[in-house]
Chains A and B, each alone.
Chain A
């Protein structure tokens, strides 16, 4: 595996030239908004869990909703930020073949790899969308006593994966254009 490059800020993807340039620019804006939102969600989850232990220990408050809300926030952060991470190629893969293949064949490999990733993520986004719609229509909730609606985390998956699919599509087309 390759070492993931740690981003130093909520930066955008490498600039894309040609007709896809404006599309990537628009995606960058959405990606960065989602990433900042995700970071805030992680911080919020930390604060809620801190509140949970402090509230129970010092104030004798019951802990019944904090874990679930944290799960929602952290799942939301994972999927909402997925496209931002992909824009900077932060989802690591095995790139051993890039050292072996001739440059032309390697471009084809990278194109196909991005294409397969796009198809899978688009399919996943579609299934998440159906899941969200069903949960919304049937009013599904989690089985706990607090019972928050399930369409909320499902929505983060549906929108996050749809955005990721779009990001992968732009990257695939860009590779296809170059080769």
Chain B
């Protein structure tokens, strides 16, 4: 068999194994092992376990459990509610201020916790009822939180960017910095939409001429505005301080992860008195379940791409794409569409590790900056978190607000999918939004 046939067989086997319902990690591992057995020297099979260990024993990858622990610790407290409450007391005069406050809170929380589902459930579990109580339509409230939660995979310390750094051999520090500008751009787009949509719903309520909670005005005193500060500020200061330590060269990424997790645990103990075993145990069991599942997928995905590259499948596919001589932007569009389609079935971590060896060489040859592309790919994968029918955040929201129903949630998230697509176009036209910060810091 030539490389093309082996490659097609590899792809077909992957589809069959994944869709059979075998857990993603073991499906990828089994396909890789099967092809080792068929097409590689017998000795290769003896190295299965060693390859996984060597790929996985990278300190960069192993920051993931610690970042997840940090997110779980903050996510299990009232910090999310305190955050948007505090922001709302400052912004209530702005039309649609609550929606804006929720958007910004999502961004800040995502940056602290580094996880999309954690952000959704932390902000959404009280934010969605609060917005509905104030007269926001349920779908709008759900869509706003689902979309705001996706900022978690763009803002540092994003697990997705960590993996991309490993897969593309780009600097993690640069990638984290490059995610900040686009993260801010999305916050602005989401916030602007929240204000416009609020205005629209406000006018509709006014036209009905009946009393509606959306028409009520609230006033906050300075005391209200400062009330939550003692609870919110320690988190913001300490956790941005930890990231500052990373960029200041004081701490390595792994130390940042360890320090962040421990500080988060200490802070929730001090600020929210979360130190009883009954409250601590769910934090650890939850983050262990998530990080164990993720790292198993990562380890096996790495074995999968090792076999793909040993059999020259990835090189062949990459060379084939280069040989098509597509125009620069057509190539980018085609690759991003592929990422969207894969997003229907696979979590971002597998998409990155499985596709990086195939799609990055052609992109590099076409003259794209791989740090910039990492950010673009993250935004596109974020869309995968909220686009129907499979977006993970849709199900998270459905779990915390089951009475809204999947239909309205999906309709509520669609405008944000479009906004993110607009964001990708803006970032393609003005790459500086992503690239100026890393360039300014690292030169």
Interface residues of A in 114-139 (CB under 8 A from B): 114, 116-117, 119-121, 123-124, 127-128, 130-131
A92: which of B23, B30, B62 is its contact (CB, 8 Å)?
A: B23
One of B22, B48, B281, B293 near A127 (C-beta < 8 A): B48
Interface residues of A in 1-53 (CB under 8 A from B): 1-4, 6-11, 35, 38-39, 42-43, 45-50, 52-53
Q: Which of A11, A71, A128 contacts B49 (CB 8 A)?
A: A128
A42→B287 contact, CB < 8 A: yes
- A97 → chain B, closest Cβ, in Å? 6
Closest chain B CB from A117 CB (angstroms): 4
Q: Is chain B's binding surface mostly helix, strand, loop or mixed?
A: helix
B259 at the A interface (CB under 8 A) = yes
User: Given the complex, which residues of A lie within 8 Å of B347, measured CB to CB?
Assistant: 1, 92
Nearest CB of A to B27, in Å: 7
Q: Which residues of A are found within 8 Å of B257, using beta-carbon distances?
A: 46, 49
A93 with B262: CB separation less than 8 A: no
Residues of B within 8 A of A81 (CB): 288-289, 292
Contacts of A4 in B (CB 8 A): 289-290, 293
Contact call A1/B53, Cβ cutoff below 8 A: no
Which of B49, B289, B345 contacts A154 (CB under 8 A)?
A: B49
Q: Does A61 contact B (CB under 8 A)?
A: no
**A81 CB → nearest B CB, Å:** 5
Q: How far is the CA of A158 from the CA of B29 in the complex (A)?
A: 16
CB contacts (< 8 Å) of B53 on chain A: these are 75, 131, 153-154, 157
Inter-chain contacts of A90 with B (CB < 8 A): 289, 292-293
CB-CB nearest in chain A for B281: A9
B295 neighbours in A (Cβ, 8 Å)? 74, 78
Which of B25, B30, B254, B346 is within 8 Å of A70, CB to CB?
A: B254
**Digit string of B349-371 for contact with A (CB within 8 Å is 1, else 0)?**
00000000000000000000000
Bin chain A's interface residue count. Answer: 35 or more
Using Cβ atoms and an 8 Å threshold, which residues of chain B touch A67? 59, 252, 254
Please, what's the 1-or-0 string for B56-74, where 1 marks a CB less than 8 Å from any CB in chain A? Answer: 1111001001100100000
Chain A residue contacts of B48, Cβ below 8 A: 123-124, 127
Q: Answer yes or no: B291 CB below 8 A from chain A CBs.
A: yes
The verdict on A113 contacting B296 (CB below 8 Å), with A70-B258, A75-B53 known, is no
Q: Binary interface profile of B, 123-166, with partner A (CB < 8 Å = 1, else 0)?
A: 00000000000000000000000000000000000000000000
A interface with B by C-beta (< 8 Å): 1-4, 6-11, 35, 38-39, 42-43, 45-50, 52-53, 57, 67, 70-71, 74-75, 77-78, 81-82, 84-86, 88, 90-98, 109-110, 112-114, 116-117, 119-121, 123-124, 127-128, 130-131, 153-154, 157
